[in-house]
Structure 1
Amino acid sequence: MEIKLRFGTENKLERPKSNDNWGEMVEKGTISPAKAINLIRHYSKQVTHPPISQPEEAEKQKLDEILKELDDLIGLTEIKDLVKEIVAYVEIQKIRAKERLATEPTVLHMIFRGNPGTGKTTVARIIGKLFKELGVLQKGHLVEVERADLVGEYIGHTAQKTREQVKRAMGGILFIDEAYSLARGGEKDFGKETIDVLVKAMEDHKNNLILILAGYKEEMDWFLRTNPGLRSRFPIHLDFPDYTIPELMAIAHLMLERRQYKLSPEAETELEKILRKEAIFGHEHSGNARLVRNIIEKAIRRQAVRLVQEEKLTRQELMSINLEDIQGALGNG
């Protein structure tokens, strides 16, 4: 069963008589986890608990900074909401434990489904940092691997390679891209051995390792059907949609702004035309932020080639990406 973590609407509520009631209200869906956390913190300051210590305040500030990093990503509205719900869920479980209420096992292995360039790796990296601050993971780092990093060429080699990657990821997240490729070789393929080792690692290190399997939506759905036992081990499924044209343009502007460049009006029109054409006629897996990044990086190089022979350059000329730079980025760059 996939966790949706939707806890109902937030009504105007009076303060319960004790903190025990907050957990009950979350379970009944009368209040969201995020709202409960905020209210508990609010009333805790007013009543019996001592002021927040400096270490706790620093941890909260760090958590807020990471959540802002998530918020600053272009698009991904539903993904952001679900990640925040997962964070709230983890916090509520910690609060319930302090109040000596029953808690649910915090199983946080995930399936990421979506095309390349839709932000899967970026979100996974942010999740790792969030879970470190929440105390779920010791390190919170991300180890990104694919089939070649896990599957060996002879009997016994695969288990060794997979265990090495698991060891690297301990205390953090093991992110397996194109995870469906582990099941494509059939029963005799060594990929099945990798899956067996991973399943064992999930059990042995459930308190200090999170596994994220990522790939195209259709292929990941097929992968989970080939091994029904896997689906129950991954309670959180996140679907990453393709970016819209306005979102891709916003990503382009953000990339350029961080590098202190900007598009001329003609270059902006040309870039949007290219993105719209790619969305209609391009390969379904070739677009998104990866395409934008490639075009922008090539355009910056083309601009450098255009300007390098000039004796005097103004600040405006150094910052401006022109029409010819964008057009040149479509070549070999």
Structure 2
Amino acid sequence: MAGLLRQCLRHTPKALPRSLALGYWHKHVLHVPSQAACAGAGRNLSGPGRLDKGVVRGHSIMPSQPAVDEGWDALLGSFSNLLGEVDEAGVATLTLNRPKQLNALNSELMGELVAACQYLDRKHPSARVIIVTGSGSKAFAAGADIKEMSSVTYSEAYNKGLLDGWETLRTIRKPIIAAVNGFALGGGCELAMLADIIIAADSASFGQPEINLGVLPGMGGTQRLTRAVGKSRAMELVLTGDRLSAAEAVSLGLASRAVPAAELMETTQKLARRIAAASLPVAAKAKECVNQAYEMTLAEGVRFEKREFWSCFALADQKEGMAAFIEKRTPVFGDS
């Protein structure tokens, strides 16, 4: 295989960087054991207008347009409160789209977001990382839809499992990044904490003000906030309804970083593309291991991590990644 790859590289157009050529040959030609095939594909790459129409995803040549998925398009067409797109790098962006209600999280929006994440995780042919953000500059999500909840009785809340659907996001294997613009309050803060990474605009604010409504957080706020910022600070925030600024959220470990609001999506997409370049199964394993740190003792977590580490040696991506390191080249992961 290595010999054939070197043979292919000799037929690569000089204008194509070696790291990009590796991705192309590995993906499209490596299964053809002939010099003629390599040379033919080289001519295809160097044809008029070929290279300047391509774009790069991590270390591979990708088409300038993402793969068409009719199922995904149909799903998006059925939504009323959620916008979605997947770019050529495999970065999916889901936008909560109820700007007049400050993207308040009603049951319909919850169902749409969960359905979109599940589809992107299990069925979409090219999605690798998911970004969740809010429309407009005022709010990521200002909380649950109070008008929808105000008349609910205890028996209805219990029997229907009020807000249960959000926990489904914990089963998503692909990394989720919350790009928080403006208010992330109540359910909005809890939704952000369901993501794997939070990037905050410098104008963002976080809080659990449910106590002012005569209720307490119901989407994991008392649990995840405590794990993120510690008992004392979480207790103060939950009992007073006070807010954290973006800078405070970063200093306490709730958010990964704060950036100027105008740079929020650019920064988040850049991070997402870096993650998208990794091996998909290894990224999923790494995500699961980090999340298990919240669920297990240290000894249990280390055992879990060790088994997942060992399991990586069953993957072709482990062989490719280590070979690339030894050979001082960019790895070309096949997600297997």
TM-score between both structures, scaled by the size of structure 1: 0.23
Rg larger in 1 or in 2? 1
> Which structure has the highest helix share of the two?
1
